[in-house]
Structures are given as structure tokens and as C-alpha cells.
Amino acid sequence: MASAILLASLAIQLIGAGLALRVPASGRIRGWAAAAWVFLAGRSAAILAMPGTVPANLFAESFLLVAAIAGCSGQAFAIPYLRTIVQAGVRHRESEDRLRTIVEGTKDYAFIALDAEGCVADWNTGARRMFGYEPGEILGRSVSVLMAPEERSAGRSRERVRAASSAGRLAEQGWLTRRDGSRFRGDVVTTVLRDDAGPPRGFALFVHDLTERIGLEQQLLQAQKMEAVGRLAGGIAHDFNNLLTVITGYAQMLALRHPPGHPDRHRMEEILRAADRATGLTRQLLAFGRKQAVQPKVLDLNAVVVDVERMLRRLIGEDIELVTDLHPETGRILADAGQVEQAIMNLVVNARDALPRGGRIRVGTSNTDLDEAFVARHPFVKPGPYVRLEVEDNGHGMDAATLSHVFEPFFTTKEPGRGTGLGLATVYGIVKQHNGYVLVESAPGRGSVFRIYFPRVWGRAETRAVVPTSAEPASAPSAETILLVEDDASVRAFARDVLREAGYQVLEAEGGEEAIRIVGNHTGPIHLLLTDSVMPRMGGGDLARSLSAQRPGLRVLYMSGHTESDTVRRGDLDRKAPILYKPFTPSDLLRWVRQALSSAA
């Protein structure tokens, strides 16, 4: 009886001291049960050692060793060990408190404690935020309620528990469901909790929401895809420029041999019209591939919108309201005005097509600073000051599948014959060529908004020059000699025929090395080098430098199917050298040749 009273007294004191005691899996402690050193007012008060069988939920199994050493009469010997054990228990409780604080404060990961039956026993703030349940709504319920319906019906929660019980730990991805029914992909790590080698007494789940990571991966894949398609589009456009040079050139030469009204002239004019449309498509491909020639200037974006507004109203029709919302303090951008106008028109036409029964289109401008939070959501964006252009409509909107392809060339949701699928691709290329970004938000029935971000610059906006549209007539040629170097045989033959019909003497070569041999063997003068800029083995720049050293005073005119920047870079050209861009007509060629011959060497 006295032993029972002492045991009860010690239990009360231990509980009052706030000790958390671990218990063995057996549930009972046999033999010398325990010994404990109890603090009262900071000093030792008593030592208890009791033989026999004692309930294990009262004493820690770690006391057994001390009790065995101390025995019933070894109180003085046991005190130092008991002090160490009790202090370790206090530190263990403090460690548990710190761990709970860390787990509770982790908001990006969900921690879910399950009992042995797979029901939720506890979870942290991150789990509440991730799944949307309050503790009272979820505690005691099966963890399967957090899984997507298809995984729930397939018994994935039971499979996960069995696999974790067998292996000790299971890491996998799965579809999960929030309280509002929305789904997300998550990393789920399941760890089994057990005492010694006994059966599981519960499980710990750590869940990480992969929505943001998957979104970033999709952005990366989309950017890589667009880059690859852009390179392909630019290469195709370059090849088409060579073909169109030949088609357009010979069609124009043949058309001029017949008087107006002649059937053959009419046929040639139809060929020229078709070639002109193909040239327009090629320019759009070059724009998408960021390979279109640009002339950037410091621009006032508001002024560009005002200049193009009248044309926009003619494009959209009377049943659509066009609203301009231009911030008066909008900053300056460094851009090609013609290309910015093209981007605005393409976006407005796209918005118009989304409003078959009329509606509203808003074109707005504003300043914005893209911060680190914005960059975290869009990893390919550089932080800093930008000028934003928005084109918004209240049309039928786009679903996620359409949005994933919206900037791809030749992708269109319109009926056959109503669009080329290059409008938004052109916008994408123009914006990227200006080191900007274009983003789109849309949903079915909620309209669309396209946002373009141009890097902001400081300086006075330049006045746009008026370019004359009438071509300067070519002067009558003299008997000059022209060295024509072009690796494309069809383009070379066309240029040779045009120049010879105009009275020039033409020496022709397929490449730089052949051209150097021809110059070495030619004893007469050579007045002009007309060369393609980018060729195999030796580019136009290297050829011009080599021949100019042999023939001082030699004038140079380059031809190119690439953009200005690509031509100068890949051909290693002098930036001041004149460049005739393909496709060109016979009159274009003769005019540029005449100007080059008339200029100072």
C-alpha cells in the first residue's frame, strides 16, 4: 500500500514537472522498474526505486539502467545519473517544441500526421493553406479525401500506406484536390512511424505543391519551342527571298516586253501580284524569327498609338467601340515605329475577329516596374522599368489549349481562307526583337488582354522622317564592269541577265575563292563588286577586303536575304556599306548599282 502511495505521489510530481516519457512497445516494464530524481524548488527531494511490474506509461524505459545500478539502497550513487536523465527529458521536450514551431511555420510545405488507419491526426499551417480545410473539418477523416477522385477510386491511399509500411518511406507525385474542388499536382513523401520493430503507429506526409514549378517548366519549354520555330521560320524566309527574287524579277522583265492589255502581260502581272503576297508572308516570317531589318529610334508610344488610331478605326468597323486609354506620363521606348504600328494593328485585328457580333476594344499605355515577384512568375523577364502596351477585348476568349499555341506561326482558329496564322506570331517576333515581352490572359467567355512590355529609355522622342515613295529612275549605264558573286545559281543568273540587258559587262562567280581567281586573271578594270553577303567558306566582307587590297578604288554593293543585323554580323561587313535586300526587282537592282557606281569609293 505504501509503495502504491509513493508511486502515485511520484507520478503526480512527474506530471507536474512536465516530463514527457517515452514508452516501450510492450506497454509494461518488468524487473527493477525505475528510479527518478524529482526537483522541488530546484533541489533533489526524493529517490524512488521499486521492484516488480510497473505500468510503462509512467516511467521512461531509459530509467531502467539507472534503477538497476541504484537498487533499493543505492540512492546516493543513482542521483547523478538521474539528474542527467531528467535534464535530457526536459531538453527533449524543448526540442519537440522547437520542431513543432518549425513545422507549423512552414507554409510552402504541407505536413500531415496520420494515425495507423490513415486518418488525419494533425497538420500544419502549410496544409491548411494548401488544401483549404480548417482542422475541425479534416481531423479524423481519411487522407483519401485529399486525393483526386480517380486516385481515390483506385485506392491509391491504401497502396501508398502499404508501400510506405514495407519500405519505410515512399516518394511519388500525384494529383490532389483542394476543398474547393480544384486540382493540383504534388510531390508526396510518406514516412512510416513505428516503435522499434513493432507495427506502424502512424504515418507522416510531406506535400509540396508543384503548380508553380510545372508552370515555370512549361514556360521554359514554350520559350525553347518558339526559339526553334523562329530559327526555322527565319531560315525558310531567307530561302524564299532568293526564290522570290527570281520569280518577281523575271516576271517583271517579261511583263515589260508586252504592251498594256496584252494577255501575256496580264498573266505576268498576276504572277507579280502572287509574288507580292508571298513577299508579305516572308516579311512576317522574318518578323517572327526576329530577323527583320529594324531602324530603332526613341519613340513616344502614345504618339505611335495616336498616329495609327485612324487606321485602326477603319479596320475594326462601326459595330466595335475602340477606346484609347493613354497615360499622359508614359515613358519613351527604343523601337522601330513601323514595327510597333504593325504589332498594334495585328493585335487589334485579332481582337476584332474575336468580336463577330460587335463589342469593345481598349488600347492602353502606362509605365510599370517589373519587380522580383513578377520575375519569379515569369523567369525569362528581366526586372526593371518598362512601358506597357495593352490591347483588351470583351470577346469570346480562348481556352488553355489555344493559349499554348497562340504565338506559333500558321496556327489559327479561323475558317480556311480567313487568316494566315501569322498575325500574333509577327507580334511575338517584333516584341522579342525589341528586347521586350508579350503576355496574354484569356478565358472562354471572358475576353482577352495582350500586354506588351517594352524596356523604358530616357531621352527626347525623335521626329519620324517622311520617306519618299517614288523611286529614283536609274541613269543610263556606261560600259562599266561588274563582278557578280552569288552562291544561289538562280539569283546569279537573274542578276546577270538584268545587268547585261542594261549594258554592263558582267563577270560572275559562285563564291569568294572563284571571284579572287577571276580578278587575278582579268587584266581590265572592275568598277563594282556586287556580292552576296553570307556565303559558304568566304563571306562577302572578307571577299571585299581581299579584292580592295588588290584593286584600290573598287566599289562594293552587298546583297542579302537576311536582316541588317544578321547580314553585318554573319557577313562581317562594314556597317557603312550599302546593302540591297532580297527580294528585289530589276529596277531596284539597276538603281542600287547606279548609286553605288556614282558614290565615292
Q: What is the pLDDT of residues 149-189, one digit of tens each?
A: 887 776 666 777 777 777 777 888 888 888 888 888 888 88
Question: Would you say residue 584 has pLDDT above 50?
Answer: yes
Question: Would you say residue 82 has pLDDT above 60?
Answer: no
Looking at the fold, whether 282 and 350 belong to one and the same domain comes out as no
DSSP structure class, residue 198? S
Question: Would you say residue 251 has pLDDT above 90?
Answer: no
Question: Would you say residue 530 has pLDDT above 90?
Answer: yes
Question: Would you say residue 377 has pLDDT above 50?
Answer: yes
Q: What percent of the chain stands above pLDDT 70? A: 69
Cell digits for 542?
572578307
Question: Would you say residue 375 has pLDDT above 60?
Answer: yes
Question: Is 468 within a domain?
Answer: no
Instruction: For helices 512-521 and 540-550, give the axis angle rounded to 10 degrees.
Output: 10
Tens-digit pLDDT profile for residues 410-428: 777 776 556 667 788 888 8
Looking at the fold, whether 330 and 426 belong to one and the same domain comes out as yes
Looking at the fold, whether 418 and 311 belong to one and the same domain comes out as yes
8 A C-beta contact, residue 517 and residue 548: no
Tens-digit pLDDT profile for residues 282-338: 766 666 555 555 568 899 999 999 988 888 888 887 889 999 999 999 999 998 888
Looking at the fold, whether 417 and 317 belong to one and the same domain comes out as yes
Short-list 410, 462, 115, CA closest to 281: 410
Short-list 505, 467, 485, CA closest to 560: 485
Give 38's contacts (C-beta < 8 A, 6+ positions apart). 10, 13, 14, 17, 44, 45, 46
pLDDT of residue 579: 87
pLDDT of residue 436: 92
> For residue 108, which amino acid is it?
D
Candidate ranges 423-437, 473-487, 495-509; pick with highest mean pLDDT: 495-509
Candidate ranges 16-25, 157-166, 542-551; pick with highest mean pLDDT: 542-551
Range of the domain at 229: 215-288
| Rounded Cα distance, 236 and 246, in Å | 16
DSSP string, 26-81: TSEE-SS--EEEEEETTEEEEEEE--S-EETTTS-TTHHHHHHHHTTT-HHHHHHH
Q: Final residue of a domain: which of 176, 209, 242?
A: 209
Gyration radius of the chain over CA positions? 40
Torsion, Cα 44 48 49 51, to 10 degrees, reads: -170
pLDDT of residue 316: 86
Question: Is 311 within a domain?
Answer: yes
Looking at the fold, whether 335 and 423 belong to one and the same domain comes out as yes
8 A C-beta contact, residue 589 and residue 499: yes
| CATH, residue 267 | 1.10.287
Question: Would you say residue 582 has pLDDT above 50?
Answer: yes
pLDDT of residue 333: 94
- List residues bridging with 359 in a β-sheet: 320
Residue 360 pLDDT class (50, 70, 90 cuts): very high
Q: What is the mean pLDDT of residues 28-50?
A: 38
Looking at the fold, whether 308 and 435 belong to one and the same domain comes out as yes
Question: Would you say residue 13 has pLDDT above 90?
Answer: no
pLDDT of residue 10: 39
- The count of domains in the chain is 5
Question: Would you say residue 551 has pLDDT above 50?
Answer: yes
Looking at the fold, whether 8 and 53 belong to one and the same domain comes out as yes
8 A C-beta contact, residue 265 and residue 258: yes
Residue 41 backbone zone (phi > 0: left; psi -120 to 50: alpha; other: beta): left
Looking at the fold, whether 282 and 313 belong to one and the same domain comes out as no
Question: Is 199 within a domain?
Answer: yes
Supply φ then ψ for residue 427, to 5 degrees: -60, -45
Residue 472 pLDDT class (50, 70, 90 cuts): very low
Question: Is 471 within a domain?
Answer: no
Looking at the fold, whether 312 and 431 belong to one and the same domain comes out as yes
Taken in order 257, 261, 263, 267, is the CA torsion positive or negative?
positive
Looking at the fold, whether 438 and 540 belong to one and the same domain comes out as no
Q: What is the mean pLDDT of residues 11-36?
A: 38
8 A C-beta contact, residue 544 and residue 572: no
Residue 496 pLDDT class (50, 70, 90 cuts): very high
Looking at the fold, whether 45 and 173 belong to one and the same domain comes out as no
Give 373's contacts (C-beta < 8 A, 6+ positions apart). none
Looking at the fold, whether 34 and 70 belong to one and the same domain comes out as yes
Question: Is 463 within a domain?
Answer: no
| CATH, residue 124 | 3.30.450.20
Mean pLDDT of the chain: 75
| CATH, residue 580 | 3.40.50.2300
Tens-digit pLDDT profile for residues 53-72: 444 333 444 443 344 334 43
Question: Is 13 within a domain?
Answer: yes
Q: Final residue of a domain: which of 235, 267, 288?
A: 288
Q: What percent of the chain stands above pLDDT 90? A: 22
Short-list 516, 522, 518, 540, CA closest to 530: 540
pLDDT of residue 72: 37
Cβ burial of 488 (10 Å; 0-12, 13-18, 19+) is buried
pLDDT of residue 297: 86
Q: Final residue of a domain: which of 288, 309, 335?
A: 288
Short-list 40, 80, 87, CA closest to 60: 87
| CATH, residue 349 | 3.30.565.10
pLDDT of residue 567: 52
Question: Is 159 within a domain?
Answer: yes
pLDDT of residue 33: 36
Question: Is 408 within a domain?
Answer: yes
Question: Would you say residue 224 has pLDDT above 90?
Answer: no
